[in-house]
Amino acid sequence: MNARKFYEVTGIRLAAIASNIRYADRLDLVLIEIARGAAVAGVYTQNAFCAAPVLLAKQHLQTATSRYFLINTGNANAGTGAAGRDDAFRCCQALAELTEVQACSVLPFSTGVIGEPLPVDKIVFGLPEAIDKLSASNWLQAATGILTTDTRPKLASTRLELDGKSVTITGMAKGSGMIKPDMATMLAFVFTDAQIHQQLLEQKLAQAVSHSFNRITVDGDTSTNDSCMLAATGHSQMQIDAGNKSVNEKFDRALGQIFQELATGLIRDAEGATKFITINVRQGASTEECLQVAYTVAESPLVKTAFFASDPNWGRILAAVGRSGLKDLSLDAIAITLGDLALISNGELDPNYAEEKAQIEMDKQEITIDIKLARGRCSEMVWTSDLSHDYVKINAEYRT
Protein backbone atom coordinates (compact mmCIF):
# COMPACT_ATOMS: atom_id res chain seq x y z
CA MET A 1 0.00 0.00 0.00
CA ASN A 2 1.08 3.55 -0.62
CA ALA A 3 2.50 4.81 2.66
CA ARG A 4 0.77 8.18 2.46
CA LYS A 5 -2.39 8.92 4.40
CA PHE A 6 -5.76 7.80 3.16
CA TYR A 7 -8.96 9.62 4.02
CA GLU A 8 -12.35 8.35 5.09
CA VAL A 9 -15.25 9.15 2.77
CA THR A 10 -18.32 10.39 4.60
CA GLY A 11 -21.24 8.14 3.74
CA ILE A 12 -19.15 5.00 3.27
CA ARG A 13 -18.64 2.21 5.82
CA LEU A 14 -16.65 -0.97 5.24
CA ALA A 15 -15.98 -4.35 6.81
CA ALA A 16 -13.86 -7.40 6.00
CA ILE A 17 -14.08 -10.82 7.62
CA ALA A 18 -12.69 -14.33 7.18
CA SER A 19 -15.49 -16.64 6.00
CA ASN A 20 -13.27 -19.53 4.84
CA ILE A 21 -14.46 -19.40 1.24
CA ARG A 22 -11.26 -21.01 -0.04
CA TYR A 23 -8.60 -20.55 2.63
CA ALA A 24 -8.90 -20.63 6.39
CA ASP A 25 -8.43 -17.51 8.49
CA ARG A 26 -7.99 -15.16 5.55
CA LEU A 27 -10.03 -12.02 4.95
CA ASP A 28 -12.22 -12.99 2.01
CA LEU A 29 -15.61 -11.35 2.45
CA VAL A 30 -15.93 -7.57 2.17
CA LEU A 31 -19.05 -5.52 2.76
CA ILE A 32 -19.30 -1.86 1.75
CA GLU A 33 -22.27 0.22 2.86
CA ILE A 34 -23.20 3.25 0.74
CA ALA A 35 -25.32 6.05 2.19
CA ARG A 36 -28.83 6.66 0.92
CA GLY A 37 -29.04 9.06 -1.98
CA ALA A 38 -25.59 8.29 -3.38
CA ALA A 39 -25.02 8.02 -7.11
CA VAL A 40 -23.27 4.85 -8.30
CA ALA A 41 -21.77 4.05 -11.72
CA GLY A 42 -20.01 0.95 -12.99
CA VAL A 43 -18.09 -0.49 -15.93
CA TYR A 44 -17.51 -4.18 -16.45
CA THR A 45 -15.58 -6.85 -18.29
CA GLN A 46 -15.95 -7.22 -22.06
CA ASN A 47 -15.38 -10.97 -21.76
CA ALA A 48 -18.34 -12.80 -23.32
CA PHE A 49 -18.22 -15.34 -20.48
CA CYS A 50 -18.76 -12.66 -17.84
CA ALA A 51 -19.40 -14.02 -14.38
CA ALA A 52 -22.77 -14.37 -12.68
CA PRO A 53 -22.14 -11.51 -10.21
CA VAL A 54 -21.25 -9.19 -13.10
CA LEU A 55 -24.55 -9.92 -14.81
CA LEU A 56 -26.44 -9.40 -11.57
CA ALA A 57 -24.56 -6.22 -10.62
CA LYS A 58 -25.36 -4.70 -14.02
CA GLN A 59 -29.03 -5.58 -13.61
CA HIS A 60 -29.28 -4.32 -10.03
CA LEU A 61 -27.50 -1.05 -10.84
CA GLN A 62 -30.17 -0.30 -13.45
CA THR A 63 -33.02 -1.34 -11.17
CA ALA A 64 -32.57 0.42 -7.83
CA THR A 65 -30.39 2.76 -5.80
CA SER A 66 -27.30 0.86 -4.69
CA ARG A 67 -26.81 0.56 -0.92
CA TYR A 68 -24.28 -2.26 -0.55
CA PHE A 69 -21.37 -3.84 -2.38
CA LEU A 70 -20.85 -7.48 -1.36
CA ILE A 71 -17.46 -8.83 -2.45
CA ASN A 72 -16.01 -12.30 -2.05
CA THR A 73 -12.64 -13.70 -3.01
CA GLY A 74 -11.53 -17.30 -3.54
CA ASN A 75 -14.38 -18.09 -5.92
CA ALA A 76 -15.20 -16.20 -9.14
CA ASN A 77 -18.70 -17.68 -9.57
CA ALA A 78 -17.93 -17.67 -13.30
CA GLY A 79 -18.75 -20.41 -15.78
CA THR A 80 -21.49 -21.53 -13.39
CA GLY A 81 -24.56 -20.82 -15.54
CA ALA A 82 -28.03 -20.24 -14.12
CA ALA A 83 -27.08 -21.85 -10.81
CA GLY A 84 -24.33 -19.26 -10.37
CA ARG A 85 -26.76 -16.41 -10.96
CA ASP A 86 -29.16 -17.94 -8.43
CA ASP A 87 -26.33 -18.27 -5.91
CA ALA A 88 -25.29 -14.63 -6.35
CA PHE A 89 -28.89 -13.50 -5.89
CA ARG A 90 -29.29 -15.62 -2.75
CA CYS A 91 -26.35 -13.77 -1.21
CA CYS A 92 -27.90 -10.43 -2.15
CA GLN A 93 -31.27 -11.50 -0.77
CA ALA A 94 -29.76 -12.64 2.54
CA LEU A 95 -27.97 -9.32 3.01
CA ALA A 96 -31.09 -7.39 2.00
CA GLU A 97 -33.15 -9.15 4.66
CA LEU A 98 -30.57 -8.35 7.35
CA THR A 99 -30.26 -4.69 6.38
CA GLU A 100 -33.88 -4.06 5.38
CA VAL A 101 -33.19 -2.99 1.82
CA GLN A 102 -34.28 -4.40 -1.51
CA ALA A 103 -32.22 -7.27 -2.88
CA CYS A 104 -31.58 -5.20 -6.02
CA SER A 105 -29.91 -2.56 -3.82
CA VAL A 106 -27.08 -5.06 -3.22
CA LEU A 107 -24.40 -5.39 -5.92
CA PRO A 108 -22.38 -8.64 -5.79
CA PHE A 109 -18.74 -9.01 -6.87
CA SER A 110 -16.60 -12.14 -6.91
CA THR A 111 -13.02 -13.02 -7.78
CA GLY A 112 -11.05 -16.24 -7.61
CA VAL A 113 -11.20 -19.66 -9.21
CA ILE A 114 -13.50 -20.05 -12.23
CA GLY A 115 -15.98 -22.89 -12.64
CA GLU A 116 -16.66 -23.84 -9.02
CA PRO A 117 -20.02 -23.41 -7.23
CA LEU A 118 -20.19 -20.38 -4.96
CA PRO A 119 -20.20 -21.45 -1.27
CA VAL A 120 -23.36 -19.48 -0.49
CA ASP A 121 -23.76 -20.89 3.03
CA LYS A 122 -20.33 -19.62 4.10
CA ILE A 123 -21.05 -16.16 2.72
CA VAL A 124 -24.52 -15.93 4.27
CA PHE A 125 -23.19 -17.20 7.61
CA GLY A 126 -20.61 -14.41 7.66
CA LEU A 127 -23.00 -11.56 6.86
CA PRO A 128 -24.09 -10.73 10.45
CA GLU A 129 -20.44 -10.43 11.51
CA ALA A 130 -19.65 -8.24 8.51
CA ILE A 131 -22.60 -5.94 9.26
CA ASP A 132 -21.55 -5.69 12.90
CA LYS A 133 -18.01 -4.67 11.88
CA LEU A 134 -19.00 -1.93 9.46
CA SER A 135 -16.89 1.16 10.12
CA ALA A 136 -15.88 4.32 8.29
CA SER A 137 -12.21 3.55 9.01
CA ASN A 138 -11.86 -0.03 7.71
CA TRP A 139 -10.27 0.89 4.37
CA LEU A 140 -7.10 -1.14 4.79
CA GLN A 141 -9.00 -4.22 5.94
CA ALA A 142 -11.37 -3.96 2.98
CA ALA A 143 -8.52 -3.42 0.52
CA THR A 144 -6.84 -6.51 1.97
CA GLY A 145 -10.02 -8.56 1.87
CA ILE A 146 -10.47 -8.21 -1.91
CA LEU A 147 -7.00 -9.60 -2.75
CA THR A 148 -6.25 -12.94 -4.40
CA THR A 149 -2.71 -13.45 -5.76
CA ASP A 150 -1.81 -9.84 -4.96
CA THR A 151 1.03 -9.40 -2.48
CA ARG A 152 -0.24 -6.15 -0.99
CA PRO A 153 -3.38 -4.00 -0.83
CA LYS A 154 -3.79 -1.07 -3.20
CA LEU A 155 -5.28 2.10 -1.75
CA ALA A 156 -5.22 5.62 -3.11
CA SER A 157 -6.67 8.73 -1.51
CA THR A 158 -6.73 12.49 -1.84
CA ARG A 159 -8.47 15.48 -0.33
CA LEU A 160 -8.88 18.74 -2.24
CA GLU A 161 -10.48 22.13 -1.76
CA LEU A 162 -13.19 23.14 -4.25
CA ASP A 163 -14.81 26.55 -3.82
CA GLY A 164 -13.90 26.51 -0.14
CA LYS A 165 -15.29 23.03 0.52
CA SER A 166 -13.27 19.90 1.23
CA VAL A 167 -13.83 16.95 -1.09
CA THR A 168 -12.40 13.47 -0.57
CA ILE A 169 -11.70 10.71 -3.10
CA THR A 170 -10.54 7.30 -1.86
CA GLY A 171 -10.37 4.00 -3.72
CA MET A 172 -9.06 0.46 -3.68
CA ALA A 173 -8.26 -2.13 -6.33
CA LYS A 174 -7.09 -5.70 -6.71
CA GLY A 175 -5.55 -7.65 -9.55
CA SER A 176 -2.17 -9.16 -10.36
CA GLY A 177 -2.75 -11.44 -13.32
CA MET A 178 -5.34 -12.08 -16.04
CA ILE A 179 -5.11 -8.34 -16.62
CA LYS A 180 -6.01 -6.67 -19.84
CA PRO A 181 -9.17 -5.12 -18.63
CA ASP A 182 -10.95 -3.68 -21.68
CA MET A 183 -12.94 -1.70 -19.12
CA ALA A 184 -11.44 -1.41 -15.68
CA THR A 185 -9.54 -4.03 -13.75
CA MET A 186 -10.37 -7.22 -11.96
CA LEU A 187 -11.98 -5.26 -9.11
CA ALA A 188 -11.81 -1.56 -8.29
CA PHE A 189 -13.98 0.57 -6.02
CA VAL A 190 -13.61 4.34 -5.81
CA PHE A 191 -15.66 6.66 -3.62
CA THR A 192 -16.08 10.40 -3.21
CA ASP A 193 -18.19 12.59 -0.93
CA ALA A 194 -18.82 15.04 -3.78
CA GLN A 195 -22.33 15.46 -5.12
CA ILE A 196 -22.49 14.34 -8.76
CA HIS A 197 -25.61 13.47 -10.71
CA GLN A 198 -25.82 10.04 -12.30
CA GLN A 199 -25.18 10.89 -15.94
CA LEU A 200 -22.14 13.04 -15.16
CA LEU A 201 -20.79 10.38 -12.78
CA GLU A 202 -20.98 7.80 -15.56
CA GLN A 203 -19.10 10.14 -17.88
CA LYS A 204 -16.38 10.76 -15.30
CA LEU A 205 -15.97 7.05 -14.66
CA ALA A 206 -15.63 6.29 -18.37
CA GLN A 207 -13.08 9.06 -18.79
CA ALA A 208 -11.03 8.04 -15.76
CA VAL A 209 -11.02 4.36 -16.74
CA SER A 210 -9.98 5.04 -20.32
CA HIS A 211 -6.68 6.59 -19.21
CA SER A 212 -5.92 4.25 -16.31
CA PHE A 213 -7.28 0.73 -16.06
CA ASN A 214 -7.75 0.57 -19.83
CA ARG A 215 -4.07 1.33 -20.31
CA ILE A 216 -2.58 -1.59 -18.38
CA THR A 217 -1.78 -5.16 -19.31
CA VAL A 218 0.01 -7.95 -17.49
CA ASP A 219 -0.61 -10.90 -19.79
CA GLY A 220 -3.22 -9.84 -22.35
CA ASP A 221 -5.97 -11.91 -20.70
CA THR A 222 -9.30 -10.26 -19.88
CA SER A 223 -10.93 -11.62 -16.73
CA THR A 224 -14.50 -12.87 -16.57
CA ASN A 225 -15.09 -10.79 -13.44
CA ASP A 226 -13.67 -7.31 -14.10
CA SER A 227 -15.70 -4.59 -12.43
CA CYS A 228 -14.93 -0.97 -11.61
CA MET A 229 -17.35 1.10 -9.54
CA LEU A 230 -17.49 4.81 -8.72
CA ALA A 231 -19.83 6.10 -6.01
CA ALA A 232 -20.54 9.71 -4.98
CA THR A 233 -22.26 10.10 -1.60
CA GLY A 234 -22.82 13.87 -1.81
CA HIS A 235 -22.09 14.29 1.90
CA SER A 236 -19.53 17.04 1.37
CA GLN A 237 -22.31 19.26 -0.04
CA MET A 238 -19.96 20.17 -2.88
CA GLN A 239 -21.78 19.79 -6.17
CA ILE A 240 -19.72 18.98 -9.24
CA ASP A 241 -21.29 20.00 -12.51
CA ALA A 242 -20.06 20.66 -16.01
CA GLY A 243 -21.16 24.30 -15.78
CA ASN A 244 -18.49 25.17 -13.22
CA LYS A 245 -15.49 24.55 -15.46
CA SER A 246 -12.67 25.25 -13.00
CA VAL A 247 -14.16 23.07 -10.24
CA ASN A 248 -15.05 20.32 -12.70
CA GLU A 249 -11.56 20.23 -14.20
CA LYS A 250 -9.85 20.25 -10.80
CA PHE A 251 -12.00 17.36 -9.64
CA ASP A 252 -11.36 15.43 -12.86
CA ARG A 253 -7.59 15.80 -12.44
CA ALA A 254 -7.76 14.50 -8.88
CA LEU A 255 -10.05 11.62 -9.86
CA GLY A 256 -7.79 10.71 -12.78
CA GLN A 257 -4.74 10.65 -10.51
CA ILE A 258 -6.48 8.25 -8.12
CA PHE A 259 -7.43 5.93 -10.96
CA GLN A 260 -3.91 6.01 -12.41
CA GLU A 261 -2.34 5.36 -9.03
CA LEU A 262 -4.54 2.30 -8.53
CA ALA A 263 -4.01 1.04 -12.09
CA THR A 264 -0.24 1.38 -12.01
CA GLY A 265 -0.28 -0.18 -8.54
CA LEU A 266 -1.64 -3.34 -10.14
CA ILE A 267 1.28 -3.42 -12.59
CA ARG A 268 3.81 -2.82 -9.82
CA ASP A 269 2.33 -5.82 -8.01
CA ALA A 270 1.75 -7.97 -11.10
CA GLU A 271 2.26 -11.69 -10.65
CA GLY A 272 5.97 -12.38 -10.48
CA ALA A 273 6.85 -8.91 -11.79
CA THR A 274 10.32 -7.47 -11.31
CA LYS A 275 10.00 -4.54 -13.74
CA PHE A 276 7.53 -1.68 -14.21
CA ILE A 277 7.49 -0.75 -17.89
CA THR A 278 5.99 2.34 -19.53
CA ILE A 279 5.44 2.25 -23.28
CA ASN A 280 4.89 5.59 -25.01
CA VAL A 281 3.77 5.56 -28.63
CA ARG A 282 3.82 8.99 -30.24
CA GLN A 283 3.18 10.65 -33.57
CA GLY A 284 0.52 8.13 -34.52
CA ALA A 285 -2.26 8.77 -37.01
CA SER A 286 -4.90 7.80 -34.42
CA THR A 287 -5.34 6.76 -30.81
CA GLU A 288 -6.27 3.28 -32.00
CA GLU A 289 -3.05 2.67 -33.90
CA CYS A 290 -0.94 4.04 -31.04
CA LEU A 291 -2.59 1.54 -28.71
CA GLN A 292 -2.23 -1.21 -31.30
CA VAL A 293 1.53 -0.74 -31.33
CA ALA A 294 1.82 -0.24 -27.57
CA TYR A 295 -0.11 -3.40 -26.71
CA THR A 296 1.75 -5.48 -29.30
CA VAL A 297 5.03 -4.56 -27.61
CA ALA A 298 3.62 -4.80 -24.08
CA GLU A 299 2.17 -8.29 -24.60
CA SER A 300 5.04 -9.84 -26.56
CA PRO A 301 6.36 -12.78 -24.52
CA LEU A 302 9.77 -12.28 -26.12
CA VAL A 303 9.89 -8.61 -25.16
CA LYS A 304 8.64 -9.32 -21.64
CA THR A 305 11.11 -12.12 -20.99
CA ALA A 306 13.96 -9.97 -22.28
CA PHE A 307 13.03 -7.35 -19.71
CA PHE A 308 12.95 -9.98 -16.98
CA ALA A 309 16.45 -11.06 -17.96
CA SER A 310 17.59 -7.41 -18.25
CA ASP A 311 18.71 -8.33 -21.74
CA PRO A 312 19.04 -5.33 -24.14
CA ASN A 313 17.71 -7.40 -27.02
CA TRP A 314 16.30 -4.41 -28.89
CA GLY A 315 15.48 -6.55 -31.93
CA ARG A 316 12.48 -7.97 -30.07
CA ILE A 317 11.01 -4.49 -29.62
CA LEU A 318 11.62 -3.66 -33.27
CA ALA A 319 10.00 -6.92 -34.38
CA ALA A 320 6.93 -6.28 -32.22
CA VAL A 321 6.44 -2.82 -33.74
CA GLY A 322 6.82 -4.34 -37.21
CA ARG A 323 4.17 -7.00 -36.65
CA SER A 324 1.66 -4.70 -34.96
CA GLY A 325 -0.39 -4.57 -38.16
CA LEU A 326 -0.14 -0.91 -39.12
CA LYS A 327 -0.75 -0.33 -42.82
CA ASP A 328 1.79 1.58 -44.88
CA LEU A 329 4.24 1.80 -41.99
CA SER A 330 7.26 3.87 -43.03
CA LEU A 331 10.20 2.05 -41.50
CA ASP A 332 12.66 4.79 -42.34
CA ALA A 333 10.79 7.26 -40.13
CA ILE A 334 10.55 5.17 -36.95
CA ALA A 335 12.52 6.10 -33.84
CA ILE A 336 12.73 4.02 -30.64
CA THR A 337 14.40 5.01 -27.39
CA LEU A 338 15.04 2.99 -24.25
CA GLY A 339 15.06 5.42 -21.36
CA ASP A 340 17.40 8.19 -22.54
CA LEU A 341 19.21 5.95 -24.99
CA ALA A 342 18.37 6.04 -28.70
CA LEU A 343 17.94 2.50 -30.07
CA ILE A 344 16.49 3.11 -33.51
CA SER A 345 16.78 6.26 -35.60
CA ASN A 346 15.38 6.52 -39.11
CA GLY A 347 14.41 2.87 -39.01
CA GLU A 348 17.84 1.46 -38.14
CA LEU A 349 20.22 1.11 -35.22
CA ASP A 350 21.22 4.54 -33.94
CA PRO A 351 24.90 5.28 -34.71
CA ASN A 352 25.51 6.26 -31.07
CA TYR A 353 24.02 3.07 -29.65
CA ALA A 354 26.23 1.21 -27.21
CA GLU A 355 25.41 -2.14 -25.61
CA GLU A 356 26.82 -1.11 -22.25
CA LYS A 357 24.51 1.92 -22.14
CA ALA A 358 21.54 -0.24 -23.06
CA GLN A 359 22.48 -2.63 -20.26
CA ILE A 360 22.35 0.21 -17.75
CA GLU A 361 18.79 1.01 -18.86
CA MET A 362 17.68 -2.64 -18.78
CA ASP A 363 19.05 -3.14 -15.28
CA LYS A 364 16.62 -0.55 -13.91
CA GLN A 365 13.40 -1.60 -12.20
CA GLU A 366 11.41 1.12 -13.96
CA ILE A 367 11.90 1.28 -17.72
CA THR A 368 10.43 3.49 -20.43
CA ILE A 369 10.18 2.64 -24.13
CA ASP A 370 9.40 5.56 -26.43
CA ILE A 371 8.26 4.80 -29.98
CA LYS A 372 7.78 7.53 -32.60
CA LEU A 373 5.78 6.51 -35.65
CA ALA A 374 6.01 9.81 -37.58
CA ARG A 375 2.47 9.35 -38.90
CA GLY A 376 0.47 12.02 -37.07
CA ARG A 377 -0.09 13.84 -33.79
CA CYS A 378 -1.74 11.21 -31.57
CA SER A 379 -0.01 9.60 -28.62
CA GLU A 380 -0.87 6.95 -26.04
CA MET A 381 0.75 5.40 -22.98
CA VAL A 382 0.46 1.81 -21.73
CA TRP A 383 1.89 0.27 -18.57
CA THR A 384 3.01 -3.34 -18.32
CA SER A 385 5.34 -5.71 -16.47
CA ASP A 386 7.96 -8.28 -17.33
CA LEU A 387 7.30 -12.03 -17.56
CA SER A 388 9.18 -14.04 -14.95
CA HIS A 389 9.63 -17.58 -13.69
CA ASP A 390 7.37 -16.68 -10.77
CA TYR A 391 4.52 -15.67 -13.10
CA VAL A 392 4.53 -19.16 -14.60
CA LYS A 393 4.79 -20.78 -11.15
CA ILE A 394 1.96 -18.69 -9.64
CA ASN A 395 -0.42 -19.49 -12.47
CA ALA A 396 0.61 -23.12 -12.79
CA GLU A 397 -0.14 -23.62 -9.10
CA TYR A 398 -3.17 -21.31 -8.90
CA ARG A 399 -5.65 -24.03 -7.92
CA THR A 400 -3.33 -26.04 -5.67
Average pLDDT over the chain reads 90
- Length of the chain equals 400
Exposed e or buried b for every residue in 201-229, given b needs 16+ CB within 10 A? bbebbeebbeebbbbbbbbeebbbbbbbb
Distance of CA 91 to CAs 33, 211, 271, 291, 305, Å?
A: 15, 34, 30, 39, 42
* 253 Cβ neighbours under 8 A, 6+ residues apart: none
What is d(CA 177, CA 174) in angstroms, rounded to the nearest whole number?
10
The Cα 111–Cα 51 span in angstroms is 9
> What's the fold here for domain 276-396?
Ubiquitin-like (UB roll) (3.10.20)
Pick from 116, 22, 128: nearest CA to 73: 22
Question: Where do the structural domains in the chain lie, given as residue ranges?
Answer: 12-268, 276-396
3-class DSSP assignment, residue 166: strand
Name the percent of the chain in helix, strand, coil, to the closest 5.
35, 25, 40
Q: Which of 185, 192, 224, 233 is catalytic?
A: 185
| Cα 29 to the center of its chain, rounded Å | 19
The CA distances from residue 395 to 135, 218, 329, in Å, are: 35, 13, 37
CATH number, span 12-268:
3.60.70.12
pLDDT score for 173: 94
| pLDDT for residue 284 | 96
CA distances from 80 to 29, 48, 70, 84, 113 (A): 20, 14, 18, 5, 11
Residue 193 CB: number of other CB atoms within 10 A?
27
Instruction: Please tell me the pTM assigned to this model.
Output: 0.89
Task: Using 50 as the pLDDT threshold, list the residues of the chain that sit under it.
Answer: 1-3, 178-179, 181-185
Active-site residue flag, 337:
no
Q: Which residues pair with 255 in a beta bridge?
A: none
Instruction: Compute the distance between CA of residue 63 and CA of residue 58 in angstroms, rounded to an integer.
Output: 9
Amino acid symbol at 373 = L
pLDDT tens for 256-275 read 999 999 999 988 887 777 89
pLDDT in tens, 66-112: 999 999 999 999 889 999 999 999 999 999 999 999 999 999 999 98
Question: pLDDT at position 150, please?
Answer: 81
